[in-house]
Structure formats: C-alpha cells, structure tokens
Amino acid sequence: MANVNENFLNLKNDYLFSTITEKRREFEKNNPDKKVINLGVGDVSLPLAPVVIEAMHKAVDEMSRKETFKGYGIVQGYDFLIDRILDVEYKRRGVSLDKDEVFIAAGSKGDLAGIAELFSEENRVALMNPVYPAYRDANIMLGRNDIVYLKGTEENNFTPELPKEHVDIIYLCSPNNPTGTVLNREQLENWVKYAKENKAIIFYDSVYEIFIEDENIPHSIYEIEGAKEVAIEFRSYSKLAGFTGVRCSFAVVPKELKVYRKDGEEIGLNALWRRRQSTKFGAASYITQRAAEAVYTEEGQKQIRENIKYYKENAKYIKDELEKIGFITYGGVNSPYIWLKLPNGIDSWRFFNKLLNEIAVVGTPGVGFGEAGEGFFRLTAFSSKEDTKEAVNRIVKLFGIIIDLRKGDYIR
Ligand SMILES: *Cc1c(COP(=O)(O)O)cnc(C)c1O
C-alpha cells in the first residue's frame, strides 16, 4: 500500500491567495464596468533589463553551435557568475568569501525549504510572525511541528525579540516580507550572539537586499562579526533584477558552519549542502547564469537600479499619501512592501472586502501571514506607476482626512 507521508496532512490549507483570487473574480463578474487595481501582488511587473535580454540571446546562440554548446553544468554554478557575486555583493562590502561557499540555484524558495532537510527532525525552528508562509510549510513537510513563533508587533517595529527558550534553527527575513521592516546592525549582532550561544543556525533571507537605502542597515549578515559561524544567507535575482520567471538565486554556506551529531561530533554544513544539491538539484541553466552575470556589468547595475527606483517611488507614494490622511504605516522605505495599520475594530479581511467592494482595490490581509498580522494590511509597490496612483487616490477619496489612528478612531 502506498502510504502518504502524513507530514503533508499537517499543512494548513493555503486559503490566502486562492480566497483573494476568488473574491476578486466574483467582484469582476458582478461589476464588469469597474477596473480592479491589484496592490497585492508579490511579483515584479517591469520587463527584464536590456543587458539581461542581450546576454540571454547571446547564450542561446552559443547553445546553437557545436563549439560553444553547454550540457550539464556544475551543480555549484559557473565561476563566471560566482566571481561576480564575490566581488560585487561581498568584497565591496568588506566580506571575503571563498568560491566554494557560494551555491547558485534556480530561485531561493527551493533553497530555503531544502536547507531544512539538513537538520534533525527534532530540531526546534523559530519563525517570525507575521511570516512568509513557505518557511513554515517546508518545515511541516519535514515533520517539524514544534515551531516557535517570534511575534512582530508595533512595539518592536516588527523585528521580534530573541526567543526566551532554546531554538536550533532561526529563519530571519530582512527586508521583511510582509512587513517591509529591516533588522539593524545591533539586532543582527544580538541574533548572531544568540545563535553562537545556542549552537543554532540562522537562515538569513535577504532577497530584498537591493531595496535597502538606509546606510546603517547591513546588506549582508556577514557584515556582522562571527556570522560566518552561524548563518546561511539567501539571495535571489527575482526581486533584485526581476528574474521571478527566469529563476536564478544563490545561497552562501560558509565553511565555518557546523552542525552536530548526537555525540557532539562536528559536521561541516558546506560539504553536506553540496552533497544534497548534487543529488537533488540539477544546476541553474547556463542561459540563466549568463543573464545573472549581466546584472553585474556597469550598464546592468544602472538598468536594474532604474527598475528598483521605479518601485521605490511607488512605495513612497503609497506611504506618503496614506500617512497624510492619518494612516500609520510600516516598511515602504527599505522595501517594496507597505504594512498598513488598520483602525481599531477593523479586521484585515473586512478591510480587504471594503477596498474591493467599494473602490475595486486589492491588497493582502495581514492575517494571511500569521495571526500576528491581524489588524494590518499589506500593499505592494510592484504595480505600474499609473495603477499605484489611481489605487492610492481611490483609498484617499474613500477615507478622506477623517482618521486619527493614534486615537483609535473608526473608519466610517
Ligand atoms: C520572493 C521571495 C523569495 C524567493 O523567491 P525566488 O523567486 O524563489 O527566488 C524568498 N523569500 C521571500 C520572503 C520572498 O518574498
């Protein structure tokens, strides 16, 4: 009898995005004359930079000739890309890494889930709450149900305190999805210290690193002394250069990182991850890696930063205009996400329904990212400039200058 892996039955149904789509479809059916604007998307919308397209065309041409054709690649990734990463992403920030500490992959999502396989089922995981749901689900699939949630609140600026209890694995996401907040140097130092004391490992998801503009915010966890002994860093070209449909990313697994056998013997994580990847992952395509390499040319940097600037202007518009009418917002500065505080008494699904039904604007209810997200709402900067303005203007018109959230006033 083919028995099911019952861990999969412990997953909660992923209602969030399917419910949103369903509600939107229903509204569109009943209101064919209204234009729905989506500020809920967590996907980029601008096309790839011209240098990237050019590099991909060139790589395709190489594939068409016997002399330059490429078959299976090296699982770790091609040197031409790893060298650029070491230089631009790390060396220029004072971090030195070896080539064999960087692993190219086809998106961070798979890595963030896959890395959890290297740890004992009994290990205790800590996740931020609200949180990117894939971390939780990947761990539940592995039978790890003992999850400690670190609550993000307004008081801690959605950057949770250290756990009171012992945990073995910590997922940190900064700049954060969904709250748009960032961990500063001191907070990262505290996490590194905690991890060292607890022999824990930090999975540092910084796929939104390119959005950091605040000079005091570290771009890599390895800017913190000692972090190489306790942290794995995940970066992706998805948000950095609009590769959500191309698929390219990298993970840094320093050789100093150790896990332990029950008897205390140390095992190097770098070699273990390489072994895992060579069995389960077939390398990112040559064409994709050439595309990522092009991001690091001078022209490439200029072009991708143009796109980031475009999204950041959207974020600023959303944040500024909503604050003008009294909303309290988090994020939106070092991040494409704006985390909107809702007035007292309005839950996030009710707010969702109000925006959809009254002004045809879609966002994401905070509770979809965990119960600590209740009372908040995520808006994203990934739509077009025109749509972003139109949506924000509709919200402003709907609420007017009537709310003083600090006093907890109610929206009419
Ligand atoms: C988008 C996203 C990722 C990864 O996306 P990939 O396309 O798989 O690289 C990882 N973490 C968070 C928080 C994200 O929002």
- What's the CATH number where 349 sits? 3.90.1150.10
126 and 228 fall within a common domain? yes
Q: In Å, what is the CA distance from 216 to each residue of 35, 156, 171, 184, 186?
A: 41, 18, 22, 7, 10
Ligand 1 atom closest to the CA of 234, numbered from 1: 10
C-alpha 54/C-alpha 68 separation (Å) is: 17
75 and 210 fall within a common domain? yes
Domain annotation covers residue 412:
no
Q: Which residues line ligand 1 (CB under 6 A)?
A: 42, 107-109, 132, 173, 177, 205, 207, 236, 238-239, 244, 249
Q: Which residues of 238-266 are buried (b: 16+ CB within 10 A; e: fewer)?
A: bbbbbbbebbbbbbbbbeebebeeeeeee
**Edge-to-edge, what's the strand order for the sheet holding 102-105?**
102-105, 249-252, 231-236, 201-205, 169-173, 125-129, 147-151
Q: Mutation test of ligand 1: which of 41, 127, 177, 181 has the most ligand atoms closer than 8 Å to its C-beta?
A: 177
Q: How far is CA 166 from the centre of its chain?
A: 25
44 and 72 fall within a common domain? no
Q: What is the mean pLDDT of residues 186-198?
A: 98
Six-digit token pair at 319? 């944040």
- What's the CATH number where 100 sits? 3.40.640.10
190 and 288 fall within a common domain? yes
Choosing from 270, 297, 324, the residue where a domain stops is 297
Q: Mutation test of ligand 1: which of 182, 239, 378 has the most ligand atoms closer than 8 Å to its C-beta?
A: 239
The residues that bridge with 267 in the sheet, in sequence order, are 259
- pLDDT score at 410: 47
Query: Is the distance from CB of 103 to CB of 76 less than 8 angstroms?
Result: yes
125 and 34 fall within a common domain? no
Distance 108 CA to ligand 1 centre (A): 6
- pLDDT score at 412: 43
Q: How many domains does the chain have?
A: 2
- pLDDT score at 14: 76
266 and 392 fall within a common domain? no
- pLDDT score at 344: 79
Distance 240 CA to ligand 1 centre (A): 10
Q: Per residue in 52-102, pLDDT tens?
A: 999 999 999 999 999 999 999 999 999 999 999 999 999 999 999 999 999
User: Could you give the count of Cα atoms lying within 13 Å of 258 in the half-sphere of its Cβ?
Assistant: 11
Domain annotation covers residue 265:
yes
Lookup result for tokens 């089922």: 121
Six-digit token pair at 130? 């609200």
pTM greater than 0.85 (yes/no): yes
Residue 408: pLDDT over 60 = no
158 and 245 fall within a common domain? yes
Q: What is the mean pLDDT of residues 340-369?
A: 94
Distance 261 CA to ligand 1 centre (A): 31
Percent of the chain with pLDDT over 90: 91
Residue 354: pLDDT over 70 = yes
Q: What is the mean pLDDT of residues 259-274?
A: 96
Query: Is the distance from CB of 348 to CB of 314 less than 8 angstroms?
Result: no
- pLDDT score at 25: 96
Q: What is the mean pLDDT of residues 264-270?
A: 96
Cα torsion through 200, 201, 205, 210, rounded to 10 = 100
- Segment among 13-27, 108-122, 398-412 with least mean pLDDT: 398-412
User: Could you give the count of Cα atoms lying within 13 Å of 46 in the half-sphere of its Cβ?
Assistant: 24
State the residue range of the domain holding 371: 6-48+299-398
pLDDT band at 343 (very low <50, low <70, confident <90, very high): confident
Distance 123 CA to ligand 1 centre (A): 24
**Edge-to-edge, what's the strand order for the sheet holding 337-341?**
329-331, 337-341, 376-380, 364-365
Cis? peptide before 175, omega within 30° of 0: yes
66 and 171 fall within a common domain? yes
Six-digit token pair at 6? 């019952």
